[in-house]
Amino acid sequence: MALVVCKFGGTSVATPKRIINVAKRLVAKHEAGDQLVVVVSAMGKTTDDLMKLALAVNDSPPPREIDMLLSTGEQVSMSILAMAIDALGHQSVSLTGGQVGIVTDSLHRKAKIREIKPARIRKELDEGKIVIVAGFQGITRAGDITTLGRGGSDTTAVAIAAGIKADKCEIYSDVDGVYTTDPRVVPCAKKLAVISYDEMLELAASGAGVLQMRAVEFARHFGVVIECRSAFTDEPGTIIKEVTDPMESAVISGIAFDKSEAKITIRDVPDRVGVAAQVFGTIAEVASNVDMIVQNISEDHYTDLTFTTPMQDLPRLKPVLEQLIHELGAREYLIDDSVVKISLIGAGMKTNPGIAAKMFQVLAEHDVNISLITTSSIRISVVIEGEDIQRVVKCLHTAFGLDSDKVFEETQLSAEEMKAKMEKGR
């Protein structure tokens, strides 16, 4: 008998029929003897729709109220799933984040989990029930509802798996695993059987939207083994775990790309002690995550400071930049929102020299101009401007030997067919 946490994403619970299929799948697992805690996302695009609703009445709604609103999405899917399981003659109970003791800090919309009190989940499991938990939400010590950031149900699932010491955390969605790159962009992308936490973190940080980053951090910290798999087929997915055997790790395991960041340059910043601390300290105060930072050579004691930041933070950031320009006596700031960050990720970089050189060589051969570069021990990222992403990712994918001989469209088609079949009900 295994104790398993299963998480179903928004697409997997988008319609009543899909919810019924999830219920059937869970009941079959339960009958086979597993104890199940199920974490659900909101149905389909509910979270986006709720956000639109909020913005229809207020351009910048109070974060507390946004959380109050968005958290209702998951409460719909959890109770509907519990009803579907009941209709199949099995016992289940749906519970909010607060009810299962997911205690968070009070940073609304991006709250961090501080503690999980697993007593309620244990009690319900002991009574033989399938326990369904609303993803993406928690509660502050003061009793206010919080949300964990977009995609936060992954984090709920992993945190619960850690809290109840589950044997495994299965993340079900419309993607059937972790690929060497986005198969919708490069159809010959390969599905990975295994990937390490570190590589997965770099992939997530670099724009691969398979799992929320916090979820992977949590999993690494608590040693939770994750499997990402399809909600529509029985194919094995990708296992994310600690990989220590070098035989198990590829030199390059993936290429991620990210269009969601903007490049900001502050021009003619006086080059003196403490300026970087002041700039990035002020930005951190509005909780914007700065990613790549480059300071150019200074000329006449003035320098340009360039960095990237999520596009969605720009409204919050602009007044801060205005204020900084003024305080620093800098010339101006420029925002470029047409940039793409492309990252090459692989644990094997630590032991194989020359990967960066090869990447730059490939880009040069394909006439791609690089505007920023950063690296970590297992990642090389470049920012490029106004390029055809598909062309650039494809040429790197091929150059690093990642192309699969199986073209994704075929698998994609069969997954679509599967979905259609399931929609009709089996």
CA distances from 132 to 99, 117, 123, 159, 160 (A): 11, 15, 13, 14, 11
In 213-260 the beta strands, taken as DSSP E runs, fall at 226-230, 238-241, 254-258
- CB half-sphere exposure, 318, CA atoms < 13 A: 6
The only residue of 42, 95, 166, 382 in contact with ligand ASP, by rule CB under 6 A: 42
Cβ-proximal residues to 321 (8 Å cutoff; 6+ apart), any chain: 264, 266, 333
Of 153 and 308, which has the nearer Cβ to ligand ASP?
Answer: 153
State the DSSP string of 185-218. TSTT--B-SEEEHHHHHHHHHTT-TTS-HHHHHH
Closest CB 41 distance from Mg ion, rounded Å: 5
Contact range with ligand ASP by CB under 6 A, out of 98-106, 110-118, 149-157, 345-353: 149-157
| Separation CA 381–CA 373 (nearest Å) | 6
By beta-carbon proximity to Mg ion, the closer residue of 98 and 152 is: 152
The token pair at 408 is: 């994704």
Site for Mg ion in 113-172 (CB under 5 A): none
Check binding of 47 to ligand ASP (CB under 6 A). yes
Say which residue the tokens 């690494």 belong to: 220
Contact residues for 380 (Cβ-Cβ < 8 A; gap 6+)? 343, 344, 349, 355, 356, 359, 373, 374
Candidate segments 40-48, 111-119, 158-166, 349-357, binder of ligand ASP by CB under 6 A: 40-48
The site string for Mg ion over 17-46 (x = CB under 5 A, - otherwise) reads ------------------------x-----
Q: How far apart are the first and last CA of the chain?
A: 27
Residue 153 binding ligand ASP, by CB under 6 A: yes
Please provide residue 368's backbone torsions phi and psi, each rounded to the nearest 5 degrees: -100, 125
* Chain centre to alpha carbon of residue 285: 23
Considering only residues 8, 136, 179, 197, which one is a binding residue for ligand ASP as defined by CB under 6 A?
A: 136
The Cα 205–Cα 199 span in angstroms is 10
In this complex, which beta carbon is closest to ligand ASP, that of residue 150 or of residue 366? 150
Phi, psi of 39 (to 5 degrees): -105, 130
Q: By rule CB under 6 A, what count of residues binds ligand ASP? A: 12
Q: How far is the CB of 77 from ligand ASP (least distance, A)?
A: 9
Binding test (CB under 6 A) with ligand ASP, winner from 98, 138, 151, 183: 151
Alpha-carbon distance 101 to 103, whole Å? 6
Of the candidate spans 21-29, 41-49, 159-167, 202-210, the one that interacts with ligand ASP by CB under 6 A turns out to be 41-49
The least CB distance from residue 76 to ligand ASP, in Å, is 11
For residue 106, the minimal CB distance to Mg ion (Å) is 23
Residue 73 touches which of Mg ion, ligand ASP, none (CB < 5 to 8 A by kind)?
ligand ASP
Looking at residues 312 to 371 of the shown chain, list those that interact with ligand ASP (rule: CB under 6 A): none
**Least distance between ligand ASP and beta carbon 416 (Å):** 22
Q: How far is the CB of 9 from Mg ion (least distance, A)?
A: 5
Binding mask 50-89 for ligand ASP (x = CB under 6 A): -----------------------x----------------
Residues 38-97 that bind Mg ion (CB under 5 A): 41
Distance from C-alpha of 26 to C-alpha of 199, rounded to nearest angstrom:
30
Which among 39, 35, 34 is positioned nearest to 22, based on CA atoms?
Answer: 39
42 touches, from ligand ASP, Mg ion, none (C-beta below 5 to 8 Å by class): ligand ASP
Size of the site for Mg ion (CB under 5 A): 2
Q: Which residue of 44, 152, 187, 346 would you call a contact of ligand ASP, by CB under 6 A?
A: 152
Q: Interface with ligand ASP includes 237 (CB under 6 A)?
A: no
Helix (H) or strand (E) holding 304: strand 302-310
Nearer to ligand ASP, 50 or 103 (CB): 50
Tokens of 184: 């919708």
Q: Which of 380, 304, 314 is nearest to 346 (CA)?
A: 380
Q: Which residues bind Mg ion (CB under 5 A)?
A: 10, 41
The site for ligand ASP (CB under 6 A) is made up of: 9-10, 41-42, 47, 73, 135-136, 150-153
